[in-house]
Amino acid sequence: MKISVVGCGYLGAVHAASMAELGHDVVGIDVDEPKIAALRDARAPFYEPGFEELLERTLATGRLRFSTDIADAAGAAVHFVCVGTPQKRGEYAADLRYVEAAAESLLQVLQPGELVVGKSTVPVGTAARLAELVSEKAPGALLAWNPEFLREGFAVQDTLHPDRLVYGLPTGPDGATAEAMLDEVYAPIVARATPKVVTDYATAEMVKTAANSFLATKISFINAMAELCEATGADVKQLADAIGYDDRIGRKFLNAGLGFGGGCLPKDIRAFMARAGELGADQALTFLREVDNINMRRRIRMVELAREVCDGSLLGKRVAVLGAAFKPDSDDIRDSPALNVAAQLQLQGAVVRVTDPAAVENSRRLWPQLDYADSPEEAAERADAVLVLTEWRAYRELDPVVFGQIVKQKRVLDGRNALDREAWTAAGWTYRALGRRAG
Ligand code: UDX
């Protein structure tokens, strides 16, 4: 099948290469020339395990191309829209300008019988509006909404082996036509009996925001329990283990710590609240405001904890921050809790040195006022406190005995409950974590 993918950011680039891996003839389109140049050279414009290998493999087959010219999308049977929907500046709502621009540009090439497939996370109602535009400006072409659930760090795996497929389709015979086309696109995935939910546009759009809202709620729930554990002397990690044994609850996404960041969960719950307000249903989602508040409070608590261990004042204290990415195996620093904490520490007078295995370059661009180090050892030299804020494997595996020789004071703050408390305390460290007793 001939496929075009408009938008070659995280979602689009991985989707384009994955569709080529499934055997399709794919062109990825983006207005960002350096990004397209990198992708053509099989260089990933972002850190994602396994992606560069996939890119190299699929480019070598000749089935994958990249272009900055929308005219190259002409003739594709299916056109995926994979552009970003960031949060509007100063507002909760999603900024749809890239989705609109992608739709407008596709209208230049769209022919009867072709299918536009939206994958971006959009406010409910967007697909119906775009479908109207398509039927008006490109009669005979169809639109479907097919949300994507990939996680950074597992993007290739999640795209090629999704937990489920969700198709939001037009009504009537057009729906059956669009479904058949999507089944052809995803043939090997469909053949594995991957669960498939065939529905209307609004439900498909909502599945994505509802899923992300649920995940965010689960994280904030355990972080609210962490606040109570701090107040009572209980242990949130054991609490999570114990409630997680109940199948109905499950242990996944119950890791208490600094909370969620990244380019999806924070902005998606806010856009969902904004859309609910527009629809006159804001009461249904007021709990998400609390989810957001709990999440942001964790960052403040982390800074307080750092001040506490530094004898009540951060002024002039050398603090090593291990981790800048919003989560491990990513160089994404959008709404990163780690960088947010680092910046607050600096504002309170600490001398902060940040390190990260993949995200230093991005961090330097966005937060030039922070100081960066190339390794945890360099960051921690003569430090008064070490904060582990992103749980990279390299940090989880640090040897507390060896590491203890670098610092001035053996004080470690485990912002992700990722370290072996017993090993660190045995090596003479003062260990503090969110939602756990001091060790
Ligand atoms: C998320 C969704 O998981 C994915 O399905 C959707 O398509 C996009 O948004 P992603 O943003 O890549 O994916 O990261 P995810 O692994 O969900 O983690 C989000 C944030 O929550 C990270 O900052 C992570 O550190 C934090 N988190 C996750 C916790 O604090 N505790 C947990 O138990 C799990």
State the angle between helix axes of 265-278 and 201-232 in degrees (0 to 180), rounded to the nearest 10.
120
pLDDT value at 411 more than 90: yes
pLDDT classification of 437: cutoffs 50, 70, 90: confident
Residues with a known catalytic role: 264
265 pocket-lining for ligand 1 (C-beta < 6 Å): yes
Full-model pTM: 0.97
Q: Encode pLDDT of 227-261 as tens digits.
A: 999 999 999 999 999 999 999 999 999 999 999 99
Q: Encode pLDDT of 159-206 as tens digits.
A: 999 999 999 999 999 999 999 999 999 999 999 999 999 999 999 999
* CA dihedral of 66, 147, 84, 344, whole degrees rounded to 10: -130
Task: For residue 162, give both structure tokens.
Answer: 């999704």
Query: What would the mean pLDDT of 29-38 be, rounded to a whole number?
Result: 98
264 pocket-lining for ligand 1 (C-beta < 6 Å): yes
262 pocket-lining for ligand 1 (C-beta < 6 Å): yes
257 pocket-lining for ligand 1 (C-beta < 6 Å): yes
b/e burial code for range 199-217 (CB count within 10 A of at least 16 → b): bbbeebbbbbbebbbebbb
Q: Give distance in angstroms: CA of 16 to centre of ligand 1.
A: 23
Query: According to the model, what pLDDT value does residue 363 have?
Result: 98
Nearest ligand 1 atom to the CA of 265 is 9
Whole-complex ipTM: 0.98
pLDDT value at 28 more than 90: yes
User: Which CATH number is associated with domain 2-199?
Assistant: 3.40.50.720
CA nearest ligand 1 atom 22, residue: 260
pLDDT classification of 438: cutoffs 50, 70, 90: confident
Query: According to the model, what pLDDT value does residue 135 have?
Result: 97
What single-letter DSSP state applies at residue 162?
-
Query: What would the mean pLDDT of 271-289 be, rounded to a whole number?
Result: 97
Nearest ligand 1 atom to the CA of 326 is 23
Q: Encode pLDDT of 363-382 as tens digits.
A: 999 999 999 999 999 999 99
Query: According to the model, what pLDDT value does residue 330 have?
Result: 95
Query: What would the mean pLDDT of 140-168 be, rounded to a whole number?
Result: 97
> What is the share, in percent, of the chain residues with pLDDT greater than 70?
100
CA nearest ligand 1 atom 19, residue: 260
User: Same fold for the domain at 2-199 and the one at 214-433?
Assistant: yes
Judged on CB neighbours under 10 Å (0-12, 13-18, 19+), 424 is buried
pLDDT value at 439 more than 90: no
Mutate to test the pocket of ligand 1, among 260, 297, 339, 393 (most ligand atoms within 8 A of CB): 260
Name the CATH topology of 214-433.
Rossmann fold (3.40.50)
Sign of CA dihedral 214, 209, 212, 3: positive
Task: For residue 19, give both structure tokens.
Answer: 């569709």
Q: Give residue limits of the domains in the chain.
A: 2-199, 214-433
Query: According to the model, what pLDDT value does residue 290 have?
Result: 98
